Amino acid sequence: MAGNKREHWNSSLGFILATVGSAVGLGNIWRFPTVVVRSGGGAFVLLFLIIVIFIGVPLIMAELTLGRKSQKNIVSTFSTLAPGSKWWLVGFLAILTVFLILSFYSVIAGWALIYFLGSLFGAFAPLDTAGLTQVYGQIAGHPFLPVLGQGMFLTATVFIVISGVTRGIERWSKVLMPGILIIMIVLLGRTLLLEGAIEGVLWFLRPNLELMNLSTALDAVGQVFFSFSLGMGALLTYGSYLSPGENIPRNALLIGLSDVAIAILAGLIVVPALFVFNVEPEVGAGIVFVTLPAIFNTLPGSIIWSSLFFLMLSFAALTSSVSLLEVSVAYLVDEKKWNRTAAAGGLGILTFLVGIPSALSQGVLANRLFLGRNILDFIDFITSSIFLPLGGLLTVIFLAWIWGTNKALTEIYRGSPQFRWGRPWVFTLRFIIPLAILYIFITGFF
Ligand code: PFF
């Protein structure tokens, strides 16, 4: 049945949960609080929100519109909407990007899974910060444990993708997303009950405008791209499973706001906890794999808090990795007529093999450096800082200047005839977004 009739989401809710599932992941729970701490609290949050409105949500709309119009995978979307051109190459850039991102994303998610299992068995409960730092080094730097974690995580991802768009991705998102929200609310309640938490909340929310500068702005744009799953065809592919009656602007806004809400929720769990325990927040993996478990260990029932946290992190990563894999699976199923099982299984194995060097990058291969970065950080850097904004830039140029904004608006009006923001949206796509991305590129490189 491969390639005969395109699947469509069973319900708007299912689509929204799956798409929010793609957006919400390590980017929200791990990266966002870290970047906020580094970049000055509320100032960053405010900038982030401005960029969400002017760049994030309009780009979500753009990707969903392209996908829904073409009803095809990322490569064929470009070749169908601009026949005879070379724009399909942008589709391959996206496929390469999602493949590389999944190769290291699954490594970090694998750590989360190992930490979940370890927490369940109380392995971290007796340790203080020094002990946890050592254990983190031992786990991430172990000669095969990270590979095992990565393999288990990819197996779960492949399993969901094999089950299909509605029976796999949609159904699992309906279970996992409410699960994440419930766990987060419980953890938030726990943090806020700590004495002194309110100071952290205020620091997190109060904009200190002096701390806003160019590099904060760059960080914020990168964060929005990664967090919204933009620039690599994930939302476009999910949009291609939408039926014509769906209201794209409303859904885009809902997806953007939900992602922001979850990022802020994660910040409200992590940042006040750091304040209460007077912890100097470490940037990077440390905040999640060392600092938070250390904080949990000072609370009664630490095994429960830390298991819940790492379970939530693994769930969040899973609904994102599923969307990363689906981009290339959709291509193989649509264009090469592969069956889903072969496509997802084959790509899963390939991703696993390509990800092994990243999994070993904190241990056996720690001294293999590229541009001063270990393998995992290097792949993260080239994908997040180069391929991803480039993909976003090309997609927006394609929609606004090649395919045409009139056609895009016609597609949008099919499901939302009352949409009133057409002109500002077009203006943003034509000028603001390309200029902003170009600017980031230039300042990033020179
Ligand atoms: N948005 C995900 C996160 O914040 O963790 C990461 C991600 C998923 C990026 C899917 C790109 C993508 F296509």
Q: Is the CB of 236 under 6 A from ligand 1?
A: no
CA 23 to ligand 1 centroid distance, Å: 5
Q: Averaged over 309-335, what is the pLDDT?
A: 96
Tell me the per-residue pLDDT of 123-143, one tens digit each, with 9 for 90 and over. Answer: 998 888 889 889 999 999 999
CA 122 to ligand 1 centroid distance, Å: 30
Q: How far is CA 442 from CA 253, 370, 435, in A?
A: 29, 21, 10
Could you please state the CATH topology (level 3) that the domain comprising 2-353 is classified under: Hydantoin permease (1.10.4160)
Distance CA 99, CA 330 (A): 13
pLDDT value for 3:
45
pLDDT value for 282:
53
Would you place residue 294 in the very low, low, confident or very high pLDDT band (cuts 50, 70, 90)? confident
DSSP state of 299: S
Tell me the per-residue pLDDT of 147-175, one tens digit each, with 9 for 90 and over. Answer: 999 999 999 999 999 999 999 999 999 99
Q: Is the CB of 358 under 6 A from ligand 1?
A: no
pLDDT value for 2:
43
Choose one of 105, 379, 383 to mutate for the ligand 1 pocket test, by most ligand atoms within 8 angstroms of C-beta.
Answer: 105
pLDDT value for 133:
87
Cα 80 to chain centroid, rounded = 27
39: pLDDT strictly greater than 80 = no
pLDDT value for 177:
93
59: pLDDT strictly greater than 90 = yes
pLDDT value for 200:
85
Q: Is the CB of 25 under 6 A from ligand 1?
A: yes
Nearest ligand 1 atom to alpha carbon 232: 13
What are the structure tokens assigned to 237, written together?
Answer: 């592919």
Residues 6+ apart with CB under 8 A from 105: 25, 26, 317, 320, 321, 324
Q: Is the CB of 20 under 6 A from ligand 1?
A: no
| Residues paired with 221 in a beta bridge | none
What are the structure tokens assigned to 189, written together?
Answer: 């309640």
Question: What residue ranges in 301-441 does DSSP mark as E strands?
Answer: none
Percentage of the chain beyond pLDDT 90 is 64
The letter for the amino acid at 211 is: L
Tell me the per-residue pLDDT of 220-272, one tens digit each, with 9 for 90 and over. Answer: 887 898 899 999 999 999 999 999 889 999 999 999 999 999 999 998 988 88
Q: Is the CB of 98 under 6 A from ligand 1?
A: yes
Nearest to 110 by CA among 133, 134, 144: 144
Contact criterion met (CB below 8 Å) for 241 and 8: yes
Decide: helix, strand or coil at residue 41: strand
Q: Is the CB of 291 under 6 A from ligand 1?
A: no
Give, using CA atoms, the residue closest to atom 10 of ligand 1. 229
